[in-house]
């Protein structure tokens, strides 16, 4: 019987959906496979996840990523647990830990783009260089690497060498929202709007959506744009831009619940992502699951994830985005066709399938150690 430890310290952050679904499906389908599972979770959430995963051992781990404690006390914690295999569900991990491990690398956006808006610049750039050095260690030392798309797999090969391709496996994620009941957003009732849900780092290119909205209103003065995501410094800067340029009908909702997200997507003209770099883009599939048409950037993994179920545009072209938004207003048959395509396309994605593939990676990795 093997002991498998999963490092899911960011399970309750905006990027934690992958870890939540992985733990839930492992617990519900694989805790009788003869292996023993332990999940590392911040202490404030231990009780919640122990109730949800009674057949798992839930261990408190409050070490912040990129911090000194990650390299010291997390290392000691892992050693004390004596696992046969550790799944680091993010690249950040103790450099000194050399026992068998699997690592999920979600994307290389941190290296490609500046994601440190509003942060102390010297500290941010130091962390960026640390991350690049850590990634070189992770790629070399991990027995298996998990990537969410073929785009990320190939991107890793470009950065670190094609010789790593045999150890990189792709496990597609999914995008259905939880079963929370749709919750009305009062300020949007009876309004016609486009929407975006997510953070507002520069590479997300939200300013392009705002500029397109501004141009769209020349012909459609009553159209609205709704932006939802934690109201941090990035969103605050966008709000200042909207105010300075006097762009009407732009709504910044801040963080919204799953119920509010469902209602937002169900009533939108379309969901828009103008991002220049993604590893997967769960919100894109969430939109499809709520019968919301998708307008997407044609960059990075987005065409791989959305397939034929989206209208695409060059993220540097405001004109192309405006044209696609106008099509969503004028052509209801096109909207319905995209909704139909999205519904069919979703059948290619499943959290259970992702978990099954991940479990197979665990088994193959541990079997290879015995050879």
The reported pLDDT for the residue numbered 126 is: 75
Return phi, psi of residue 102, to 5°.
-120, 140
CATH no. for residue 161? 3.40.50.2000
Q: Both 324 and 355 in a single domain?
A: no
Q: Are residues 227 and 127 in the same domain?
A: no
- Flag whether pLDDT at 121 surpasses 70: no
Model confidence at 122: pLDDT above 90: no
Tell me which of 11-20, 90-99, 258-267 is least confident.
11-20
Region of residue 249 (left: phi > 0; alpha: psi -120 to 50; beta: else):
left
Q: What pLDDT is recorded for position 33?
A: 80
**Tokens at residue 325, please?**
């938004």
What would the mean pLDDT of 11-38 be, rounded to a whole number? 92
Ranges 111-120, 193-202, 352-361: which has the least confidence: 111-120
Cα(55)–Cα(42) distance, rounded to whole angstroms?
18
Q: Which residue has the tokens 């732009």?
A: 250
- The residue that leads in pLDDT, 176 or 24, is 24
Token pair belonging to 121: 């610049």
> Is there a domain that residue 233 lies in?
yes
Give the HSE-up count for residue 59: Cα atoms under 13 Å, Cβ half-sphere: 16
Average of pLDDT values for 141-165? 96
Closest CA to 264 of 192, 185, 200: 185
Average pLDDT over residues 104-124: 72
Residues 342, 280, single domain; the answer is yes
- Residue 348: the pLDDT is 94
Question: Which of the four pLDDT bands, split at 50, 70 and 90, describes residue 371?
Answer: low
Question: Are 122 and 192 found together in one domain?
Answer: no
Residue 134: the pLDDT is 86
Q: What pTM does this model have?
A: 0.93
- For 290, the domain range is 186-348
**Which strand ranges, in their side-by-side order, compose the sheet holding 193-197?**
250-254, 224-228, 193-197, 270-273, 294-297, 311-313
Q: Is the pLDDT of residue 264 over 60?
A: yes
Residue 179 located in a structural domain: no
Least Cα distance to 140 among 159, 112, 119, 114 occurs for: 159
In a domain, 181, yes or no: no
* Residues 125, 143 within the same domain: yes
Same domain, 285 and 163: no
User: In this model, does residue 116 exceed pLDDT 60?
Assistant: no
Contacts of 197 (CB under 8 A, 6+ apart): 228, 229, 256, 261, 264, 265, 271, 283, 286
Is 211 found in the same domain as 137? no
Q: What does the alpha-carbon distance between residue 90 and residue 6 come to, in Å, rounded to a whole number?
A: 10
Residues of the chain with pLDDT > 90: what percent?
86
Does pLDDT of 119 surpass 70? no
Tell me: the pLDDT tens digits for 326-346? 999 999 999 999 999 999 999
Q: Are residues 217 and 342 in the same domain?
A: yes
The stretch 343-365 carries a mean pLDDT of 96
Same domain, 14 and 44: yes
pLDDT of residue 37 exceeding 90, the answer is yes
Q: Is residue 8 part of a domain?
A: yes
Q: What is the mean pLDDT of residues 237-262?
A: 96
Let me know whether 221 and 321 are in one domain.
Answer: yes
Sign of CA dihedral 102, 105, 111, 115: negative
The most distant pair of C-alpha atoms in the chain lies apart, rounded to whole Å, by: 68
Query: Is position 164 within any domain?
Result: yes
Evaluate whether residue 267 is within a structural domain.
Answer: yes
Work out the number of other CB atoms within 10 angstroms of the CB of residue 336: 12
pLDDT at 118: 52
**Which pair of structure tokens corresponds to residue 183?**
């919750």
For residue 59, list its beta bridge partners. 40
String of DSSP letters for 320-368: HHHHHHHHHHH-HHHHHHHHHHHHHHGGG--HHHHHHHHHHHHHHHHHH
- Mean residue pLDDT of the chain comes to 94
145/218 same-domain check: no
**304 or 175, which is more confident?**
304
Residue 5 has pLDDT above 80, yes or no: yes
Give the number of domains in the chain.
Answer: 2
What is residue 133's predicted lDDT score, i.e. its pLDDT?
86
Is 92:65 a contact under the CB 8 Å cutoff?
yes
Instruction: Name the strand (E) or helix (H) holding 273.
Output: strand 270-273
Q: What percent of the chain has pLDDT over 70?
A: 97
Helix (H) / strand (E) containing 186 = none
**Averaged pLDDT, 50-68:** 94
Question: Looking at 45-54, 108-117, 197-206, which range is the least confident one?
Answer: 108-117
Q: Does the residue 133 lie in any domain?
A: yes
The reported pLDDT for the residue numbered 291 is 97
Q: Is the pLDDT of residue 62 over 60?
A: yes
Task: Check residue 176 and give its pLDDT.
Answer: 81
Q: Within this chain, do residues 306 and 358 fall inside the same structural domain, yes or no?
A: no
Identify whether 180 is part of a domain: no
Query: What's the confidence (pLDDT) of residue 310?
Result: 98
């Amino acid at each position: 019987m093997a002991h498998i430890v999963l490092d899911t310290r960011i399970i309750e952050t905006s990027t934690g959906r992958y870890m939540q679904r992985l733990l839930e499906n492992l617990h519900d389908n694989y805790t009788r496979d003869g292996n023993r599972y332990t999940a590392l979770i911040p202490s404030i959430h231990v009780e919640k996840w122990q109730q949800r995963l009674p057949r798992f051992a839930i261990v408190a781990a409050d070490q912040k990523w990129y911090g000194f404690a990650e390299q010291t006390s997390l290392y000691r914690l892992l050693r004390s647990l004596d696992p046969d295999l550790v799944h680091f569900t993010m690249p950040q991990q103790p450099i000194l830990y050399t026992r068998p491990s699997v690592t999920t690398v979600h994307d290389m956006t941190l290296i490609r783009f500046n994601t440190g808006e509003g942060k102390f610049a010297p500290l941010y750039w130091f962390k960026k260089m640390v991350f690049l050095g850590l990634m070189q260690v992770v790629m070399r030392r991990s027995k298996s690497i998990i990537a969410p798309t073929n785009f990320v797999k190939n991107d890793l090969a470009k950065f670190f060498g094609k010789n790593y391709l045999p150890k990189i496996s792709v496990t597609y994620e999914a995008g259905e929202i939880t079963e929370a009941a749709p919750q009305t957003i009062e300020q949007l009732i009876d309004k016609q709007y486009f929407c975006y849900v997510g953070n507002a780092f520069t590479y997300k290119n939200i300013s392009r959506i705002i500029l397109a909205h501004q141009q769209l209103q020349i012909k459609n003065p009553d159209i609205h744009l709704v932006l939802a995501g934690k109201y941090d410094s990035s969103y605050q800067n966008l709000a200042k831009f909207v105010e300075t340029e006097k762009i009407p009908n732009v709504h910044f909702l801040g963080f919204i619940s799953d119920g509010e997200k469902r209602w937002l997507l169900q009533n939108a003209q379309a969901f828009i992502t103008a991002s220049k770099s993604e590893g997967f883009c769960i919100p894109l599939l969430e939109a499809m699951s709520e019968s919301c048409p998708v307008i997407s950037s044609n960059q990075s993994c987005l065409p791989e994830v959305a397939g034929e179920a989206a209208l695409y545009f060059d993220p540097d072209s405001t004109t192309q985005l405006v044209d696609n938004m106008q099509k969503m207003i004028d052509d209801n048959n096109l909207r319905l066709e995209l909704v139909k395509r999205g519904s069919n396309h979703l059948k290619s994605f499943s959290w259970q399938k992702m978990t099954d593939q991940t479990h197979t990676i665990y088994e193959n990795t541990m079997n290879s150690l015995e050879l």
